[in-house]
Amino acid sequence: MKKSSWMIVSVLLIMSMLLSACGGNNNAGNTTNGNAQNGSAPSTGETKTVKIFQFKTEIVEGLNELKVEFEKEYPDIKLDIQTVGGGADYAAALKTKFASGDAPDIFSNGGFAELDMWQDKIEDLSDQPWVQDLVPLAAEPMTKDGKVYGMPMNLEGIGYIYNKDLFEKAGITETPKTIAELEDAAKKLQAIDVTPFGNAYQEWWLLGNQGISVAFARQDNVDEFIKGLNEGTATIAGNEHFKNWSDLLKLTVQYGQKNPLTTDANTHLAMFASGEVAMMQEGNWAQTLVDNITPDMNIGMFPMPIDNDAEKNDKLTVGIPANLVVNKESASKEEAKTFLNWLVTSDLGKEYISKKWKFIPALTTIPATSEDIGMLGADVKKYVDENKVYGLQSSKFPDGVTQEFASVIQQLIADKVDVEGWMSNMQAAWDKLKK
């Protein structure tokens, strides 16, 4: 977990956050169903190890289970799976891996600016069999000059997850589409002695990666705005959408639990799943995490409203949390492609993607019903199907700025800076790290 227009949309949902990707060379995957249906691959007597380095903590157990089955079918390929996430700085850890000579064979990449930064290390995967099966426009974050460099395995939606039963008890009949309606809902929840928001504002990714994306997405032309920030012709300081987003942030703090800056994601998940709080900012990946605490909880998701324009607010942030890429300098890159292709073409891999992890697949060949992807996934898919989405913008940011943003936002939450000072500090963070 711990990455424009309708790309962002038709495929995007998230994210994240996850290690799932695909690939497959002609030797490993001539059949679109993979060797999983044809029996084990014959042993050549030479064993190669594929090192996988990813950040989706919620899929670690499943990956290790898939590793066992994959190694049975491909006895000459061993998988070494390492995960850095859950609030840790994956980007910094990845750089350390490469700098120390311990570069992974498969790693995660968010696309766009992150693709540009790592392109000299990433294998061209355009000839892989799964490329033709990508959901329309899903390849955009990892496509450059007509070549596809990574595979998105899922779409993720980000917004407010809410407890439907508590909403009903409080007399809230519709999900809020304006900030005024959101405050009204918060007051109704307080009236029945329920804390409206659980805020995990200790987590940098929740603030500087996902939350602030809404303020960027609401710009008239987000790509031109980001270009302007890089060229010095646009500013965050004084921008109405950032001011409005700060109003939303303050509202969640006002109607949230105590000590949001020392509350982590595990804590706010536990608070939500126990019914202590009615809403939390999260993504549909939280479905399995909530299920583990309170199975069959009646939950849903709605977009984060930053002003009183109901139509513009009623679009969910949707993105591809990560793409799995292959290190082009790896001595095991063909074996890496074999695993990635198996992951998204074998019956077992498909089952894990949609049923166990409850991912919204980015490949048309991976079936997923509403029952498979859960209530949150179904809500996200509805927004995608209706083309009511904003793209997750953080993959377009300068390297390292999401962490800087989070630190600056936390200062605002702590009342160490006013809104004008906060916007100036956000601008300074961007200016410091832009290329």
Domain architecture of the chain: domains with CATH: 16-153+321-364 (3.40.190.10), 156-318+392-433 (3.40.190.10)
- Share the mean pLDDT of the chain: 90
The neighbour count for residue 174, using CB atoms within 10 Å, is: 9
Render pLDDT for 17-76 as a digit per residue (tens, 0 to 9).
333 333 333 333 333 333 333 345 666 678 999 999 999 998 999 999 999 999 999 999
Q: What predicted TM-score, i.e. pTM, was given to this entire model? A: 0.82
Amino acid 137: pLDDT: 62
CA-CA distances (angstroms) from residue 179 to 130, 172, 305, 314?
A: 42, 14, 5, 11
- Say if residue 163's pLDDT is above 60: yes
Q: Are 288 and 267 in contact (CB under 8 A)?
A: no
- Say if residue 16's pLDDT is above 50: no
Amino acid 118: pLDDT: 97
Instruction: Give the burial class of 5: count Cβ atoms within 10 A of its Cβ; 0-12 exposed, 13-18 middle, 19 or more buried.
Output: middle
**Among 83-92, 207-216, 329-338, which is the least confidently predicted range?**
83-92
CA distance 166 to 169: 5
Mean pLDDT value across residues 134-160: 90
- Say if residue 87's pLDDT is above 80: no
Task: Please spell the DSSP secondary structure of 333-351, one letter per residue.
Answer: HHHHHHHHHHHHHSHHHHH
Of the pLDDT bands very low, low, confident and very high (cuts 50, 70, 90), residue 5 is very low
Amino acid 44: pLDDT: 65
Of the pLDDT bands very low, low, confident and very high (cuts 50, 70, 90), residue 394 is very high
Mean pLDDT value across residues 111-139: 92
Q: Are 349 and 362 in contact (CB under 8 A)?
A: no
Amino acid 88: pLDDT: 83
- Say if residue 271's pLDDT is above 90: yes
Amino acid 1: pLDDT: 42
Render pLDDT for 30-45 as a digit per residue (tens, 0 to 9).
333 333 333 456 666 7
Amino acid 79: pLDDT: 99
- Say if residue 396's pLDDT is above 70: yes
Amino acid 266: pLDDT: 95
Of the pLDDT bands very low, low, confident and very high (cuts 50, 70, 90), residue 150 is very high
Amino acid 86: pLDDT: 78
Which residues lie below 8 Å from residue 242, measured CB to CB, with a gap of 6+? 215, 236, 423, 426
Mean pLDDT value across residues 115-131: 97
Mean pLDDT value across residues 209-214: 97
Amino acid 263: pLDDT: 98
Render pLDDT for 280-300 as a digit per residue (tens, 0 to 9).
999 999 999 999 999 999 999
